[in-house]
Amino acid sequence: MRRNEFDRALRKALSELPPMFRDALANVAVVVEEWAPDELLDELGVPPDETLYGFYHGVPLPERSVQDSGLLPDKISVYRGPLVEDFPDRVELCRQIRITLLHEIGHYFGMDEEELSRLGYE
């Protein structure tokens, strides 16, 4: 899938979110990047034979305090390279883009990996 098609699929996934979630994300940048930086993979302890489809950069809402008001805006990165590589079927790729987006939004709302897994967003 070409970059512009990938961007469109991500925008579609965003537009299909319930309005209350879209509104809550008003100050969160959702960006497409080709691959997760090696430094991030190292920091997270991702083994060389595994990859990352997305990452939430920021302080989850339940953990925020007044002291966090001067921080940079939150960001959700969706990594195109590994998604396109692992999901050659277009329908499955679009489904996984949506799951990745929902997974990272879950982190923004303070959910951990176990909670996200229970919801099927892994």
Pair of tokens at residue 80? 């195109």
Whole-number CA gyration radius for the chain: 14
Determine contact, residues 40/55, Cβ cutoff 8 Å: yes
Q: Give the global pTM.
A: 0.84
Domain ranges of the chain: 3-62+72-118
* CATH number of this structure's domain 3-62+72-118: 3.30.2010.20
Cα pseudo-dihedral 102, 25, 73, 94, rounded to 10: 40
Share of the chain above pLDDT 90, in %: 54
Query: Between residues 7 and 19, which one has the greater pLDDT?
Result: 7
Pair of tokens at residue 17? 């979110």
Is the confidence at residue 60, as pLDDT, over 80? no
Residues paired with 55 in a beta bridge: 77
Is the confidence at residue 95, as pLDDT, over 60? yes
